Amino acid sequence: MNSTHPNRSCPQCEQPLPADAPYGLCPECLMLGALETMPMPDHLKPSGRLPELGEVFGGYRIGRELGRGGMGAVFEAEQLETGRVIALKLLNHQLDSPEARARFLREGRLAASINHPNSVYVFGTEEIGEMPAISMELVGGGTLEEIVKARGALPIGEAVDMISQVVEGLEAAEEIGILHRDVKPGNCFQDVDGTVKIGDFGLSISAEARDKNLLTMDGTIFGTPAFSSPEQLRGDELNVQSDIYAVGATLFYLLTGKAAFGGKSVAQLFANVLESKSPSPKKKRPDIPEGLAAIVLRCLRKIPFGRFGSYLELRKALAAFKSDLPSPANSGLRFLAGTAD
């Protein structure tokens, strides 16, 4: 039987901590740290060593680094057994308790159950040298954040086409009970064929556990405040409307090149998201149609029930503003086309 520490609780969810809790977090909140997008305080950074370029690490040969956060990094890697090139996400800590290990693997299996052309595919989760690892599909066209930084605000039809694909990927996840909780331009990827996919499902949690607090721990932010709903910043219960808020904030960014809310400090940003009226994207870009601006503002309403009730409702509203360009073929159609060739 595992004991708990009588005088300690998790600073994230306030549940009693196991006696052997690593880094002062309960197992679930420790796993949620994989979604972290702001640097971790130095006194909380673990000391585990991440692999280097060319190193054989478990069943993978490590390639270039694709990104790094406070609790780990993502690498391009070759799976030695199959020769397949994937994205390997490594969490820079150990799962010291059986409960943490079981939950990590269980959530990985849940994420791997999403199979949709607009979702980055998760192959699986494992431990390599006691380091948690998530193997994922490698998407080659960059993130929507990178695209906007390179090109600026996107054409209206293109932005709507992109966000509509993101919505379809999120809808597929929601159908099996998964909330993403960190929708943002940096977690939306464009493949080389133009398909847009929502990613970083590796440690998203099921809707059944959505009432856990993802806010702060000694200055660490879980999720990204500029794209997080007011209820997420308050630590309230989350639902699909919380992710719909983040979809609206992401569309605002694609249309204007700027986040809907900003601030000179994290505290000011929190205050603006929680208290300030949501700005219309037309103020930054007057050529945005009134109807599309209204869709964005509805997504960004402070009260969840004031937003769209479902992804289907949102997709139908966006349809009028999509471009005339054909959407990328889904994986089944591409397979059939290849077979015919």
Tokens 């569309």: give the residue: 251
Q: What is the distance between the alpha carbons of residues 234 and 276, in angstroms, rounded to a whole number?
A: 15
Q: Which of 112, 70, 108 is nearest to 91 (CA)?
A: 70
Number of separate helices (H) and strands (E) present in the chain: 10, 12
DSSP, collapsed to helix, strand or coil, labels residue 24 as helix
Could you tell me which residues come within 8 angstroms of residue 115 by beta carbon, excluding any fewer than 6 positions away? 121, 172
**Mean pLDDT estimate for the chain:** 79
Q: What is the distance between the alpha carbons of residues 93 and 133, in angstroms, rounded to a whole number?
A: 10
According to the model, what pLDDT value does residue 129 have? Answer: 83
Q: What is the distance between the alpha carbons of residues 85 and 64, in angstroms, rounded to a whole number?
A: 11
Q: What is the pLDDT of residues 79-137, one digit of tens each?
A: 999 999 999 988 766 666 677 677 777 777 777 888 999 999 989 888 888 888 889 99
Averaged pLDDT for residues 25-31: 46
Lowest mean pLDDT among 156-170, 200-214, 317-331: 200-214
According to the model, what pLDDT value does residue 256 have? Answer: 97
Domains of the chain, with CATH numbers? Answer: 9-136 (3.30.200.20), 144-321 (1.10.510.10)
Q: How confident is the model at residue 225 (pLDDT cuts 50, 70, 90)?
A: confident
Q: What is the pLDDT of residues 246-274, one digit of tens each?
A: 999 999 999 999 999 988 888 888 899 99
20, 42, 96, 182: the catalytic one is: 182
Q: Is 280 a residue whose pLDDT tops 90?
A: yes
Residue 216 pairs with which residues in a beta bridge?
A: 221
According to the model, what pLDDT value does residue 293 have? Answer: 98
According to the model, what pLDDT value does residue 181 have? Answer: 83
Q: What is the distance between the alpha carbons of residues 334 and 329, in angstroms, rounded to a whole number?
A: 6
- Residue of 159 and 180 predicted with greater confidence: 159
The tokens for 264 are 């000179």
Residue 93 pairs with which residues in a beta bridge?
A: none
Averaged pLDDT for residues 132-160: 93
Averaged pLDDT for residues 276-293: 96
According to the model, what pLDDT value does residue 240 have? Answer: 94
**Chain-centre distance for alpha carbon 194:** 20
Q: How confident is the model at residue 22 (pLDDT cuts 50, 70, 90)?
A: very low
Q: Which of 214, 152, 150 is nearest to 179 (CA)?
A: 214
Q: Is 45 a residue whose pLDDT tops 60?
A: no
According to the model, what pLDDT value does residue 132 have? Answer: 85
DSSP, collapsed to helix, strand or coil, labels residue 87 as strand
- 200 belongs to the catalytic site: no
According to the model, what pLDDT value does residue 325 have? Answer: 53
Q: What is the pLDDT of residues 49-61, one digit of tens each?
A: 789 999 999 999 9
- Give this prediction's pTM: 0.74
Looking only at the bridges linking them, the beta strands covering 216-217 and 196-198 are unpaired
| b/e sequence 62-74, b meaning 16+ C-beta within 10 Å | bbeebeebbbbbb
- Sign (positive/negative) of CA torsion 321, 170, 181, 304? positive
Q: Is 199 a residue whose pLDDT tops 50?
A: yes
Q: Is 329 a residue whose pLDDT tops 60?
A: no
According to the model, what pLDDT value does residue 50 have? Answer: 84
Burial of 287: CB neighbours in 10 Å, binned 0-12, 13-18, 19+: exposed
